[in-house]
Amino acid sequence: MADSYRPALSRRGFLKLAGAAGAAAALGGGGLSASKPAQAAGGLRPGFESKFTVCDMCFNKCSAIARVQGGVVQKLDPNPKFLKSRGMLCARGNAGVEQVYSRDRLKYPLLRVGERGEGKFKRISWDEALDIAAEKMKSIGERYTRCGFMFMAGSDMQSSFVHRFAEAYGSYNTLSHESMCLIAGTRAFLDTFGEVPIPDMLYTKYVVMVGANRFESLVTPDSIDLMTAMNNGAKLVVLDPRYTKTAAKADEWFAIRPRTDMAFMLALAHVLIKEKLYDRKFVGEKTYGIEQLAKHVEPCTPQWASEQCDIPAEDIARIARELAKAAPAAMVYPGRRSSNYTDSTQIRRSYAIVNALLGNWDRPGGLTAARKVGLSGGVPFEPPFYENNPEDRIDAGRAKLMFPEEGSFKLARDAVIAGKPYPVKGWFTYHTNPMQTAANRQKTIKMINDMEFMISMDIQMSDTAWMADLVLPSQTYLERQDPCTAQQGSSACACVVMRDPVVAPLYESKPVFWVMQQIARRIGLGEHFDFTIEQFREKQLSGLQGAMDALKRDGVYYNPSKLYGVYEGKIYKTKSHKIELFNSRYAEMGLDPMPVYTPPKAGGYDRFRLVVGRNAVITQSSSQNNSLLVKFQPTNHLWIHPDPAKEMGIKDGDWVWVKGPHGKQRLQAKVTHQTRPDTVYMATGFGVLSTGLKNIYGEGACIAEVLNDDFDGISGNMAMHETWVSVGREAA
Ligand SMILES: Nc1nc2c(c(=O)[nH]1)N[C@H]1C(S)=C(S)[C@@H](COP(=O)(O)OP(=O)(O)OC[C@H]3O[C@@H](n4cnc5c(=O)[nH]c(N)nc54)[C@H](O)[C@@H]3O)O[C@H]1N2
Ligand SMILES: Nc1nc2c(c(=O)[nH]1)N[C@H]1C(S)=C(S)[C@@H](COP(=O)(O)OP(=O)(O)OC[C@H]3O[C@@H](n4cnc5c(=O)[nH]c(N)nc54)[C@H](O)[C@@H]3O)O[C@H]1N2
Ligand code: SF4
Ligand SMILES: [Mo]
């Protein structure tokens, strides 16, 4: 059945087309005529329709144009009018057609019939599936309070409907991917600048990139703008224990010892202050706590930091001076994923503090404030109040400054397993795969086994769906209608995009909006979902004249606004109303008001630190099984440096085991100078349990099984790099 829908697109054809798209993107601009969208990317054969869409292969949500023939998506092209991606669609974006036509798509609702995780399901109708879901939600809500059902939705334009449902149903226990992604960094910058900054990459002259990999971990427009800035003469310094593609492209790469970034930052601050290189006018007027900071970093000499982070003292001092010289068009790149260490918030605070000293805030080539595009909240609603509910979220109270709307996956999972402070017995997941993306897979399995009922909605049988009791087939992004979403984008402008289906949905796949609406109706909460997506979008766009026309005409709506100097005459959203070098709220809460460095434990050849990272063709755990991409990374290997490998008799390609505190995996070694002798690495999303992922089942090893699940004490962000593993050669 699946094959009848397959477009006539071989991998070779795909690559050729992808190349054409790149060329079209490079020509850029102008192609879209108002009445006939998208004759842009040259050589379009007759019989094709062109329709705007928004890529969903990662969170960047690049606007794209689908070329549709006979009701089949043949190809995806970038939208040249979409400034945030600078008219680019990456390899994963090009491979988005496979989301629809994959042989591994979930086709209809499935109910578990075997043991959990055994993979035995039976096909049921949507009516049955929704009745079961409603009945379980009712019964768990009645027996354990409504907070006894937990909801988790990944990065998706319909995820807010899952959260809306949870609110109407009465559960505070909602989770997203964010506590495994970036909340420590968000916390740190909010608690320093009162804002989460958008780097003005395009106009920068000097970037120190620490613990980020912008040429593989694509973030738009930063990845593209960084290349442009470098072509225009900007300097890039990369600190990463691995030789990433970003490191390869950099002017300088330092294989920093993991978990020592703060020492490096404090030493930069030391030099900037000691040599009076910091922006004294800016710091005097706009910041709070320079005296305390000066005292704090007094002992943090480059020599001291060098012993910690393995970067020569003279290089640290030189980088500080070079940064100051290029300032304010210079930055310590704020980074994105910060799910690294138990003090990741303080580590990122140290990045923020150096930026403040450079005076790069609100100025060209520095860090800019996020700009509001003016999208409204959609159809409003009044969630009911449930009297017998517990006081707080299940994960409350362990991380001092957790974002209540995001929670902490790590802490929630611990609490569910402990059954404290109250039992949680049901779980709904949508568009997220924590079985692969949350450290300590055994714990996730334990949590699921402690639950009474789990529902998972996906487009393929992910490992998370594999563990569920009820599996619901989702429409892919090319088949569904989605609300509008706002995007930030430095000089690329804040903008709005939305999605309409470009082809009819295949099989019995449905959007999560419909699922939430149907369950809500069954449990007497229908009034909260009594609208259509069109109506929701109308409300969202109500304050933006002409926005819908622009979206239909260009696939994107811009609301240009001032980019620099927006803080002139304004107070900062912090306690002191200034940029906080010294954080007085932290002091009051018993937290360190300034980042305090603690040296990491020493490694050794029997103890490596395991770090996570990315590859440009893979999105977290979701695109490994894509038939158009699998060729580029069919499996994962354990990266290990030649020195320890030699000592342990491990040769390139040998099978090795890698053992973390909670689990062990086996895979082949890649013996390489691309990692430090004390650090090993493997790509995410392999070693799957689900046989439904046919391209990758049996391939590689699961990093989630090996990663330790510590957490950042301030934000509750997962701390995945606090993992020490041992490695050994498998007996032949
Ligand atoms: N192709 C692709 N692009 C993506 C994604 C994807 O999966 N694939 N995911 C998107 C998402 S959700 C996010 S959050 C971003 C993530 O993008 P980034 O924030 O850039 O995060 P990572 O790619 O995880 O890169 C972190 C780097 O830190 C290094 N590292 C590990 N420990 C240390 C340390 O102690 N100090 C220093 N200095 N470095 C260290 C790792 O080797 C790794 O290369 O990428 C986004 N873009
Ligand atoms: N080991 C390790 N762990 C990590 C990371 C890492 O680099 N390494 N990165 C961390 C970061 S930064 C993040 S953001 C998180 C992300 O973690 P997750 O939120 O788990 O994201 P993905 O791994 O992309 O999983 C997305 C799931 O959604 C499914 N999906 C795709 N499209 C659709 C759709 O249209 N509808 C539905 N219903 N489902 C769909 C995919 O099949 C997949 O199962 O992981 C974190 N965890
Ligand atoms: S960066 Fe690539 S995968 Fe992510 S939204 Fe843009 S085109 Fe899609
Ligand atoms: Mo992320």
Looking at the domain that runs over 8-101, which CATH code has it been given?
Answer: 2.20.25.90
Name the 3-class secondary structure at 488.
coil
Looking at the DSSP assignment, which residues form a beta bridge with residue 272? none
Average pLDDT over the chain reads: 93
The answer to whether the beta carbons of residues 279 and 328 sit under 8 Å apart is yes
Ligand 2 contact, 684 CB (< 6 A): yes
Ligand 1 contact, 126 CB (< 6 A): no
- What pLDDT does residue 415 have? 98
Q: Residue 501: is the preceding peptide bond cis (ω within 30°)?
A: no
Looking at the domain that runs over 196-368+565-589, which CATH code has it been given?
Answer: 3.40.228.10
- What pLDDT does residue 430 have? 98
Nearest CA to ligand 1 atom 17: 217
The answer to whether the beta carbons of residues 158 and 483 sit under 8 Å apart is yes
Each residue of 334-346: pLDDT tens digit? Answer: 999 999 999 999 9
**Strand runs (DSSP E) across 259-329, as ranges?**
287-288
Q: How confident is the model at residue 17 (pLDDT cuts 50, 70, 90)?
A: very low
CA of 433 to the centre of ligand 4 (A): 13
Q: Decide if pLDDT at 35 tops 60.
A: no
> Which residue in 725, 147, 680 sits closest to 426, CA to CA?
147
Ligand 1 contact, 210 CB (< 6 A): yes
The answer to whether the beta carbons of residues 102 and 626 sit under 8 Å apart is yes
> Which residue in 644, 236, 422 sits closest to 656, CA to CA?
644
- What pLDDT does residue 45 have? 63
CA of 335 to the centre of ligand 1 (A): 8
Each residue of 548-557: pLDDT tens digit? Answer: 999 999 999 9
CA of 220 to the centre of ligand 1 (A): 14
Q: How confident is the model at residue 44 (pLDDT cuts 50, 70, 90)?
A: low
Pocket of ligand 3 (CB under 6 A): 55, 57-58, 60-62, 85, 89-90, 92-93, 218, 220
Name the residue ranges covered by the structural domains of the chain.
Answer: 8-101, 110-169+394-557, 196-368+565-589
CA of 115 to the centre of ligand 4 (A): 32
Q: Which residue has the higher pLDDT, 42 or 142?
A: 142
How distant, in Å, are the alpha carbons of 34, 42, 56 from that of 26?
21, 12, 22
DSSP state of 384: -
CA of 58 to the centre of ligand 4 (A): 9
Nearest CA to ligand 3 atom 8: 93
> What is the number of the ligand closest to the CA of 260?
1
CA of 433 to the centre of ligand 3 (A): 19
**Phi and psi of 487, rounded to 5°?**
-130, 145
Judge whether 8-101 and 110-169+394-557 match in fold: no
Ligand 1 contact, 614 CB (< 6 A): yes
Q: Decide if pLDDT at 16 tops 90.
A: no
Give the sign of the dihedral formed by CA 324, CA 293, CA 722, CA 671: positive
pTM score of the predicted model: 0.94
> Which residue in 213, 204, 198, 253 sits closest to 232, CA to CA?
204
Nearest CA to ligand 1 atom 41: 613
Each residue of 133-172: pLDDT tens digit? Answer: 999 999 999 999 999 999 999 999 999 999 999 999 999 9
Looking at the domain that runs over 110-169+394-557, which CATH code has it been given?
Answer: 3.40.50.740
Nearest CA to ligand 2 atom 31: 431
Each residue of 210-265: pLDDT tens digit? Answer: 999 999 999 999 999 999 999 999 999 999 999 999 999 999 999 999 999 999 99
Each residue of 265-298: pLDDT tens digit? Answer: 999 999 999 999 999 999 999 999 999 999 999 9
Sequence length of the chain is 732
The arithmetic mean of pLDDT across residues 381-408, rounded, is: 95
- What pLDDT does residue 7 have? 40
Mutate to test the pocket of ligand 3, among 53, 56, 60, 63 (most ligand atoms within 8 A of CB): 60
Q: Which residue has the higher pLDDT, 339 or 117?
A: 339
DSSP state of 529: G
Q: Decide if pLDDT at 14 tops 60.
A: no
Ligand 2 contact, 488 CB (< 6 A): no
The answer to whether the beta carbons of residues 527 and 535 sit under 8 Å apart is no
Q: How confident is the model at residue 645 (pLDDT cuts 50, 70, 90)?
A: very high
Ligand 2 contact, 612 CB (< 6 A): yes
CA of 681 to the centre of ligand 1 (A): 12
Ligand 2 contact, 480 CB (< 6 A): no
What is the bridge-based pairing of β-strands 49-54 and 664-671?
unpaired
**Phi and psi of 58, rounded to 5°?**
-155, 180
Nearest CA to ligand 2 atom 3: 437
- What pLDDT does residue 561 have? 83
> Which residue in 552, 566, 592, 728 sits closest to 649, CA to CA?
728
Q: Decide if pLDDT at 85 tops 80.
A: yes
CA of 337 to the centre of ligand 4 (A): 5
CA of 597 to the centre of ligand 2 (A): 32
- What pLDDT does residue 12 have? 44
Q: Decide if pLDDT at 23 tops 70.
A: no
Mutate to test the pocket of ligand 3, among 55, 487, 617 (most ligand atoms within 8 A of CB): 55
> What is the number of the ligand closest to the CA of 684?
2
